Structure 1
Amino acid sequence: MSDKLERYRSKRDADRTPEPIPSSPPSSGDGHAFVIQEHHARSLHWDLRLERDGVLVSWAVPKGLPADPGTNHLAVQTEDHPMEYLTFHGEIPQGEYGGGTMTIWDAGTYEAEKWSDREVKFVLQGKRASGRFVLFQTRGKNWMIHRMGALARDPFPQVEPMLPTERAKPPKDVPAYAFEFAWGGRRLLVPIEGGRTTAAREHPWLRGLARSFGSRTAVLDGELATLGGAEILVFYDLLYDNGHSLLDQPYTVRRAALEALELAGGHWQTAPSWPGEAGPVRQAAREQGLPGIVAKRLDSPYEPGPSKSWLFVPS
């Protein structure tokens, strides 16, 4: 009987990598374990591994498992891995095959409904990954993975930015609003899915932000502003978070979810916000040479286009 781990061993040096490298061929088994590892290698991807005949049959999925039936994701079949990989996590040294950080994203059991050389239909039973999926071969080592069944998340929003209405003075009911700086920059919505964002086509430095989200999905609203001579992306709203649309949620809920992300980097930051502080914020905007402030109603949903729930007040 051929050694199913021969290719796995040929790609690794036990003296250079902490990965498990069994010395003997695997024994046959009939377990039903699975693991999904988040792999920050040369490019971020997720490794799906299903136990089969004593090894973990593996696919690299660049965008992670599809969240809804309307989108298929590429899955590249890789070499079979040893069963010890069910619990492996750690740092594979740079320069070695698969060099980078690997963490366990989810693990559990699965039920195989069909298994052939070109199609694998299965049900995952994990904490983060669950539901019916099918892997089908398209060409060579390239497969696609499809989620079967009902929509597992809210649709990804395709919206225009919410825009403030200009007025000369702050609103009278100051406690009903949060006050932020008007940055005088260019608005930018940043969708993030599978550790990637289309906004990186124009701004390549956003790839680092997208990778930091891992498998978490999001749509961020912000503004490209020049601060201290440097271009900074200032985020002040969150429209979609981890599979759930926040468009109908009040500003206070969206703001709390945004702050929980703790976004801070060399090119981006979370904009400050001060509920009920119109006068001091407006004075600070004047002192910093900013065009004004934006008053945002605490109970307002996100309304694409011009809205009277957001008020721009010149400084």
Structure 2
Amino acid sequence: MAAKKSKDEDPLADYRGKRDAGKTPEPVPSGDDALPRGDDDTFVIQEHHARSLHWDLRLERDGVLVSWAVPKGIPPSPKVNHLAVHTEDHPLEYATFEGEIPRGEYGAGTMTIWDRGTYETEKWSEREVMVVLHGSRVSGKHVLFKTRGKNWMIHRMDPPADPDAEPLPARLRPMLPAENRRLPRDQDAYGFEFAWGGRRLLAYVEGGRTRFTDGRSREVGGPAGLGGPLGRDVGARPVLLDGELAQVEGRETYLIFDVLHLDGHSLLDVPYSERRERLDELGLSGPRWQTTPWFPGEGEAVRETAAAQGLPAVVAKRLGSVYEPGARTEDWRLIPVR
């Protein structure tokens, strides 16, 4: 039997020590195997839905994947640095791994490949790693630099990939419907939604984290246990959502009916119908949050259904209307069911 290698001789000793090959689907190569060799030019970024959502950046180096956990993802602009926590080296086979790490195992949760490609090394030392990434979602020159212990920072050195991208607004007052007792005559010009009678909340989601403001644009703590899971569902895309917190089948649920900012671009001047299509494409659905349905031109049917379900009203929204923060206009109409 071969002698057990020391950690200095076996760069994957820490990796193997944290995993049981019989319980996890992750690749766990034998410690007696020779390390595979590549060209030191492969990188992968994996989205890891563990106890807290983060992204794992892995760079091939000397037969292993040198790894950092990045809680807020790779920074899109040189104006901001993101924390990157140095973790144990991973085997090269991990560059293609996707799957569910079982509960109770180290790193339990869902792992998916967010981006991958090749990279070039410009500098590599114990305290600084400078690389040029060539991926489908991330490209350009980045530097990782050590700050303290396992904590590093990652900085984008090139100009932003999207120079027109803007950060999420700090606060926004929600648009409000005008009250009206009748459905609009030209129903084909409107989309119709259920009014749930809940509490209006805007959700600002970025880097898998969520903060909320209320109907007066005041920052609020948000419902317990909602912000983190909603952020994980959104993932890396920065987005500003409009919705209301209401009781649905006895459970407090965040009902999302509009998207106001997405991927660094304001959608306030985009027509309502297009914003709804963008929102539907996000596919946001979870145990305590749902994208609400909308029905173009079907006012009578929506009002009858709302009455049958005991809902207080319906909202008619003009298909071509823009979003006017804080305004109450006839482009949105709140119509009681009785």
TM-score in same-fold range (> 0.5): yes
Q: What's the offset of the Cα at 1:196?
A: 2.4
Match of 2:255 among 234, 238, 241: 234
The separation in 1 between residues aligned to 2:322 and 2:245, in whole angstroms, is: 23
Cα deviation, 1:158-215, whole Å, max 9, x if unaligned, reads 2221112233433333321112222222111112222221249421332323222332
Cα deviation, 1:250-285, whole Å, max 9, x if unaligned, reads 111111122223333332222222222333433444
Match of 1:12 among 19, 23, 31: 19
Q: How does 1:1-315 map to 2 (within 5 A)?
A: 2-18=9-25, 19-22=27-30, 23-24=32-33, 26=35, 30-153=39-162, 154-158=165-169, 159-199=172-212, 201-206=221-226, 207-308=228-329, 309-315=331-337
| Cα RMSD for the two superposed structures | 2.5
Gaps of 5+ in 2: 1-7, 213-219
The separation in 2 between residues aligned to 1:165 and 1:141, in whole angstroms, is: 55
Q: Percent identity?
A: 59
Cα deviation, 1:109-146, whole Å, max 9, x if unaligned, reads 01122222222222210112222222111111101112
The 10-residue stretch of structure 1 (13-22 or 294-303) with the greater mean CA deviation from structure 2? 13-22
Q: What's the offset of the Cα at 1:30?
A: 4.3
TM-score by length of 1: 0.89
Q: What's the offset of the Cα at 1:305?
A: 1.0
Cα deviation, 1:3-46, whole Å, max 9, x if unaligned, reads 32333233333344332324245366642111111222232221
The separation in 2 between residues aligned to 1:98 and 1:231, in whole angstroms, is: 30
Q: What's the offset of the Cα at 1:287?
A: 4.6
Gaps of 5+ in 1: none
Q: Secondary structure at the match of 2:168?
A: coil
Q: Secondary structure at the match of 1:117?
A: coil
Q: Secondary structure at the match of 2:20?
A: coil
Amino acid at match of 2:261: Y
Amino acid at match of 2:280: E
Amino acid at match of 2:124: W
Cα deviation, 1:50-105, whole Å, max 9, x if unaligned, reads 11222211101112112222322111001222222222233333333223332222
